[in-house]
Amino acid sequence: MASLISCPHCGTRPKEEFTIKGDASLGRPAADAGSQDWYNYVYLRDNPKGLHKEYWHHSSGCRRWLIVERDTVTHKVYGVSDAALAKLGASA
């Protein structure tokens, strides 16, 4: 059975319509941060086990950026929200 993602804009869709883009919990360094801070941000990443928030792009659908909360062991999805609304403190 295919894995499904519930897009807040398009409804439940197969995961193949989405592209995973990375950790949604990382804070971007300030523009004037040192090169070591930028190196750490770009290249050094944890590989978490368990519940984790990630950026996903609905590349074959509404083309919106989403935050998907899923278990990295079981791949079960626990929640999906619009990334733009999440940044504003709202929910989809």
Output the pLDDT for position 47: 84
- Residue that the structure tokens 């609905």 belong to: 58
CA–CA dist 52, 44 (Å, integer): 17
Question: How many degrees, rounded to 5, is the angle at CA 61 between CA 60 and CA 62?
Answer: 135
- Tens-place pLDDT, residues 24-76: 988 899 999 999 999 999 999 888 899 999 999 999 999 999 999 999 999 99
* pLDDT tier at 91, thresholds 50, 70, 90: very low
Domain boundaries, the chain: 16-25+37-92
Q: Give yes or no for a contact between 86 and 69, defined as CB atoms under 8 angstroms apart.
A: no
Architecture of the 16-25+37-92 domain:
2-Layer Sandwich (3.30)
- Residue that the structure tokens 């941060």 belong to: 33
* pLDDT tier at 92, thresholds 50, 70, 90: very low
- Tens-place pLDDT, residues 23-36: 998 889 999 999 99
